[in-house]
A and B are shown apart, each in its own frame.
Chain A
Amino acid sequence: MKPAPFAYHRPGSLADALAILAGDPDAKVLAGGQSLVPLLSMRLAAPSALVDINALPGLADITVTDGRVRVGALARHAAVLASEEVRRHQPLLALALAHVAHATIRNRGTSVGSIVHADPSAELPAVLALLDGALEVASVRGTRVIPASELFVGPLESALEHDEIATAALFPVLPAGAGVAFEEIARRHGDYAMCGVAAVVDGDSVKAAYVSVSEVPTVVDLTGVPDADLGEAALARLDPADDIHATAAYRAELVRVLTERVVARARGEAAA
Chain B
Amino acid sequence: MSPDTSTEERHEVVLTVNGVAHEVSLPARRLLSDALRHDLGLTGTHVGCEHGVCGACTVLLDGAPVRACLVLAVQCEGVEVTTVEGLGGPDGSLSPVQQAFAECHGLQCGFCTPGFLTTVTAGLRDNPTPTHEEAREMVAGNLCRCTGYQNIVKAVERAAVIAGDATAEEAR
Contact = CB atoms under 8 A, between A and B. Distances in A.
A5 B66 contact: no
B72 A108 contact: no
B29 A104 contact: no
B65 interface: yes
Interface stretch (B51-59, B80-88, B99-107, B160-168): B51-59
A8 B71 contact: no
B3 A4 contact: yes
Nearest to B136: A189
A102 B66 contact: no
A7 B71 contact: no
B11 interface: yes
Contacts, number: 85
Contact of B71 (A3, A6, A108): A108
A1 B141 contact: no
Interface in A77-108: 78, 101-105, 107-108
Interface string B3-34: 10100110100000000000000011101001
Nearest to A50: B28
B70 interface: yes
A107 B31 contact: no
Contacts of B9: 7-8
Contact of A104 (B34, B66, B74): B66
Interface string A32-55: 011001101110000000101010
Given A102-B140, A104-B58, A108-B71, A5 B50 contact: no
B70 A37 contact: yes
Given A8-B11, A38-B51, A107-B64, 14 more contacts: A1-B51, A7-B9, A7-B28, A8-B28, A34-B52, A34-B70, A37-B71, A38-B50, A42-B51, A103-B141, A104-B55, A104-B67, A105-B141, A107-B65
